[in-house]
Structure 1
């Protein structure tokens, strides 16, 4: 039995407030409510320290008070369906009368930003929502409740100490008793705990301040809280909803650092929408342009240090899909080029052609289930090699290198990283005269950390000859980088 389901309690209280007072007998006074304020408080069978311990109580647990014996309160725990005694110093008595709601909200305001006190703060928030008249409830309480639930979920996800496992698990059980739902997702062998966002949805639905709306939208649109098992159709629908939520945030009055966070999240979401639209055969230029616009709108002078990773993530996602916003190059009658044709269901077949070898007799053909960005094709001056961007997954773009070995043509795939696909792209950045080397830019997330490198690759082996974290640090790269790439890439941001 849940001790306080705040939504049901709120509606019940509102119904009582609206009922006519005439000829209605006074309701009996409910037993007082107490909330546990420390972890591992003992619920004992008798009012003495030596008595048997019934259960262990945790901060935020709500108890019905039924009496007092010496310095112990006689209580009943509805969540565990246990009665017993608890020291009076380990709990706080709560008044759930309307006139005392303001005091409960003051405690919520204090606890909302107190690390480790999330369960206690959620207990006080539930008590406020139960006590306050409906007309006095606005977005502030739900904003605080959501912030504490979100922080508890992050604590659970980032916990690496077995000593804290029991405490976090107990706090999650406490807040579940108040109707706060958490979801557990498995990602890369680890468990990601996510708050379901009910309180934040209420913030978005109620009249609320710009900062409250921004915090709610950012919490509701977290990439890491999307179920990996989501189907492509469900993901496209979800990303459309995420974009709508972010667009409902009024930005004019936001602090610059918070405005940056909204821009970065919006850029990431619209990059996913662009990729999904291309996969469905729909126009994607507008979505990709919106992603680029949001990324370039980030004020890097006001970028918080904690947001550096989020900025890199948004940039890589936008960089992976940027070809959707680029126009197709003018066709030429000579030199290498690529055309595409439909293969097996879901496949795109890439055909390498030149002035003498057309679609019916191409120099080389390879099929893929990835998205082929034909406008990215770049051939070298000697007509012996061509690079092409192919994107098999959202936020993961490869570079395919077609090159001639003697009289035979072959293709090699250069992935952003050798590990399992995560977030990253690698792209052509220029040809080095002589035809045996090419330049590439690479951004990738490996082990949770982002790296950005500029490289000189050997065309025969595609091994990295030289690399640096800035193009100016490589004389070959600085001298021969492609002007068109330099004007389009996001890697030089």
Structure 2
């Protein structure tokens, strides 16, 4: 009904009377209809929404659809919101339009890497054009959250393109962290709690982009284990486990990946028996490689953020426990629409979790042995 009234007004009103207000209303109605039309997993579809979509299409309101996470995602194509940004409008109208146009769940999953990079650059530009000085704190928070997620994605996208150089990658990573840090927690709406967790996971997955590639921040004993990288097959990076007696050409172990290898994350056990490394194969999904020495030689295992189809999540090294050979890890992931954050005591030999808690203070090992570099830079403690 609202779309019909907006269409009637646009048809009947003189050109000089049409302003951003009617397009703001039209876009809001269209986006609301698209959300209703998206069939969430486990929920019965709205039988009337198909007829509503046909009526909206007759008025020129266009929707796009694609499959995501075993569901059909319906999104408004955003034409009305683009007009809001092009016309004189209030800061609040422009902010709401920018948020509607830059939704993470409405980015087509089938885009090529080049297309996705262009879309993310456009999303960042749209968000940066919004003036935030006079906005209410709740809306400022939503813009910071969206910017944090977009810049985290840009950091990963830029890292995939070797010609981009380290500077743009680091700049994007720092911007993502800064936007997340700019959140005013006291003014965070209760309805934005999930959005906040979503943004934090995206930033957490790409947080090593904020560090210069040559800087190894984790505590590593001089002359012990380390890593070296070299190009593999087109698009691959090969990781070589090295020590003072074994260089990249005669490495202890070599493994190649199409993911982004965050070399600054390498953290070796003080006794030289293990090494943890952050590898990010997907946007918003960062794994941990654990190299360890066994009786038969060196082995590497991949520790994922969750044992589900990759969506959003990261797992990271947080410290070594002297004497026991155990390691501390932090893990945060979105599983079946729910967010879980855990701090764990992990056995590198078996990759089994000996103990875990939802707060680091609840584990005595975390209080005593967490790595200072991890504590200073992680977004899991926020």
CA distance in 2, matches of 1:158, 1:477: 42
Q: CA deviation at 1:407?
A: 5.0
CA distance in 2, matches of 1:314, 1:187: 19
Runs of 4+ in 1 over 6 A off after TM superposition: none
User: Is contact 2:120-2:153 (8 Å) kept?
Assistant: yes
Which string of whole-angstrom CA distances, capped at 9 and with x for unpartnered residues, describes residues 302-336 of structure 1? 11111111111111111111111123128975100
Does residue 209 (structure 1) correspond to residue 99 (structure 2)? The answer is: no
Q: How many residues align?
A: 372
Aligned to 2:216: 329
Q: CA deviation at 1:228?
A: 1.3
> Normalising by structure 1, what TM-score?
0.74
CA distance in 1, matches of 2:247, 2:161: 27
CA distance in 1, matches of 2:65, 2:232: 39
Moved more, 184-193 or 323-332: 323-332
Aligned to 2:238: 349
- Aligned mate of 1:319, from 188, 198, 204: 204
Does residue 252 (structure 1) correspond to residue 133 (structure 2)? The answer is: yes
CA distance in 2, matches of 1:454, 1:332: 24
Does residue 389 (structure 1) correspond to residue 278 (structure 2)? The answer is: yes
Which structure ranks higher in relative contact order (CA pairs < 8 Å, sequence separation ≥ 6)? 2
Q: CA deviation at 1:267?
A: 0.7
Q: CA deviation at 1:265?
A: 0.4
Aligned to 2:44: 161
User: Is contact 1:382-1:435 (8 Å) kept?
Assistant: no
Q: CA deviation at 1:156?
A: 1.2
Q: CA deviation at 1:158?
A: 4.7
**SS at 2:249 equivalent:** coil
- Aligned mate of 2:313, from 424, 431, 447: 424
CA distance in 2, matches of 1:268, 1:261: 11
Counterparts of 1:70-469 in structure 2, within 5 Å, are 120-158=1-39, 160-162=43-45, 164-165=46-47, 167-281=48-162, 282=164, 283=166, 284-327=169-212, 328-329=215-216, 334-406=223-295, 408-469=297-358
Aligned to 1:475: 364
Which string of whole-angstrom CA distances, capped at 9 and with x for unpartnered residues, describes residues 431-451 of structure 1? 001152000000101111111
Counterparts of 1:48-63 in structure 2, within 5 Å, are none
User: Is contact 1:428-1:439 (8 Å) kept?
Assistant: yes
User: Is contact 2:242-2:252 (8 Å) kept?
Assistant: yes
Which string of whole-angstrom CA distances, capped at 9 and with x for unpartnered residues, describes residues 225-275 of structure 1? 111111111000000000011011110011000010011001100111111
Moved more, 329-338 or 174-183: 329-338
CA distance in 2, matches of 1:171, 1:492: 45
User: Is contact 1:333-1:355 (8 Å) kept?
Assistant: no
Which string of whole-angstrom CA distances, capped at 9 and with x for unpartnered residues, describes residues 44-89 of structure 1? xxxxxxxxxxxxxxxxxxxxxxxxxxxxxxxxxxxxxxxxxxxxxx
Q: Which has the larger radius of gyration?
A: 1
Which string of whole-angstrom CA distances, capped at 9 and with x for unpartnered residues, describes residues 201-226 of structure 1? 00010011011001100000011111
Structure 1 stretches of 5 or more lacking a match?
1-119
Question: C-alpha root-mean-square deviation of aligned residues, in Å?
Answer: 1.3
CA distance in 1, matches of 2:193, 2:64: 27
CA distance in 2, matches of 1:332, 1:315: 31
> Normalising by structure 2, what TM-score?
0.95
Aligned to 2:376: 487
User: Is contact 1:381-1:435 (8 Å) kept?
Assistant: no
CA distance in 2, matches of 1:333, 1:126: 70
User: Is contact 1:415-1:426 (8 Å) kept?
Assistant: yes
User: Is contact 1:432-1:438 (8 Å) kept?
Assistant: yes
CA distance in 2, matches of 1:483, 1:149: 49
Structure 2 stretches of 5 or more lacking a match?
none
User: Is contact 2:39-2:72 (8 Å) kept?
Assistant: no
**SS at 1:268 equivalent:** helix
CA distance in 2, matches of 1:382, 1:189: 46
CA distance in 2, matches of 1:437, 1:333: 21
